[in-house]
Structure 1
């Protein structure tokens, strides 16, 4: 039987390893627009709604900052804004901080790309309405990379105050460098149960649950056979995969066990590493 994730599956919080906690807090609050929820000696929790952590920062002593696209691991995590006006306000704030901004109109969405002080990639994006997403003859979403209408984003947010990321902001997807695309497909689709939504030639694969354009991107742009990120490197600590109930969580752990993957249970969550040592925290609502 083909594995299939529940349609209500979503990406939850992201946890990063950073080399300088105060510097990262400043970046994620002032530049990105998150709020500091709580802070301890080596960790900080950042939020949008003032209640639930969306991003967790973990200080690693003597952390190594890796060159971009050098290992299997985080390419970027993607912050989904509730509308285009919010994306315009984010663009204004990024421009005010004079940092390098990449951009891409992907047909299904409009996206801005930045990097934090540890070279962790961040996408800030807004979806177009789902009824505007188009599919090709194979049933895959058509996602291109055209220039974003930056002038339109500036215009739509004119005279509105920047007040940080708005209510309704979430982690929309995560995107990883992997060392082998077929191995990634076998794990994320055949074992976890994601559906393939788009193929980008032979170098990238996009997968989702519930018909979303993608909850995960997987690519070999760091090179076929790229090594896992070293434990002491700044980068991803884990990302959270949220399923709707315990029954769905039990079904996933059963598939993991049947496929020979070892997982651990702690603090009410299931932790498992994918074939590239990327850590996943499995929880239910």
Structure 2
């Protein structure tokens, strides 16, 4: 890697925008996202936008003919819905319990507190809140030191507000966690090409982010996936990375492997990662009512 590549860093304002999932049945999955997670739903034909406030955070695209994701294929480990604070996370816990959906896990990661569950088609979902950055545990080199300890659900539930409505307007997609085939290849792409900073390497996993965040993207090989992502199957359809301005998108575009790039007429750049997972690079916007 040349010195120019080594010096490149994604802009601090880059973050995950939206995540799209291909589902076999909107009727089967919408109640989960509406009732258990509190998203407002805008449905048109075979597509549903899941919104927090005026922003679309998840997109569901129905394809009744899409097969299940092959067990050996790379793809989504989980999409992570971030809420603003601990009372909002406690409200989510109560909402999930009242909806009848079971948690698959609950962890205190030091930098954050997280709840884990799966939607009716098996897509992994994390719901979490960040602790203030000043409280994050740090490694000797200054990067966030994430751990995994059991989360005290009783203590969390005690912080639930007396009343609640839908998903907090400040909720967004804080990060995505991917199942990949080759950790070195994924790190070379997300850190080397896209310019995210590696924040932590764990057992068969790597976490990378822009702007000193604990991670916008995580990749793991825990399930030993051996096939690329299947773009015709149910599951992860694409991940959007939102950049602060058009110049940042252009700078990122210039670094991408030309053979994996698709140009669009709306200023969005599409590219596939080393596992064939589709990414969209776009300019962040205050509202996205016109975007699909």
- Normalised-by-shorter TM-score class: over 0.9
Q: Determine the structure 2 residue equivalent to 1:109.
A: 112
Q: Determine the structure 2 residue equivalent to 1:20.
A: 25
1:6 aligned to 8, 11, 19, which one? 11
Deviations 1:65-109 (A, max 9, x none): 347x74211100100000000000100111122322111110000
Q: Determine the structure 2 residue equivalent to 1:94.
A: 96
Asked whether 1:215 is paired with 2:211, we answer no
How many Å separate the matches in 1 of 2:257 and 2:217? 22
1:29 aligned to 14, 27, 34, which one? 34
Structure 2 gap ranges (5+): 285-292
Q: Determine the structure 2 residue equivalent to 1:80.
A: 82
Offset of residue 124 of structure 1: 0.2
User: TM-score if structure 1 supplies the norm length?
Assistant: 0.93
Secondary structure in 1 aligned to 2:66?
coil
Offset of residue 257 of structure 1: 4.1
How many Å separate the matches in 1 of 2:136 and 2:83? 17
User: TM-score if structure 2 supplies the norm length?
Assistant: 0.91
Structure 1 segments of 4+ aligned residues over 6 angstroms from their partners: none
Secondary structure in 1 aligned to 2:88?
helix
Give the paired residue count: 278
Structure 1 gap ranges (5+): none
Residue correspondence of structure 1 range 47-58 to structure 2 within 5 A: 47-49=51-53, 51-58=54-61
Contact residue 261 and residue 272 of structure 1 kept, 8 A:
yes
Contact residue 231 and residue 237 of structure 2 kept, 8 A:
no
Offset of residue 204 of structure 1: 0.2
Contact residue 21 and residue 60 of structure 2 kept, 8 A:
yes
Q: Determine the structure 2 residue equivalent to 1:241.
A: 241
Contact residue 69 and residue 230 of structure 2 kept, 8 A:
no
What's the C-alpha RMSD, in Å, of the aligned pairs?
Answer: 1.6
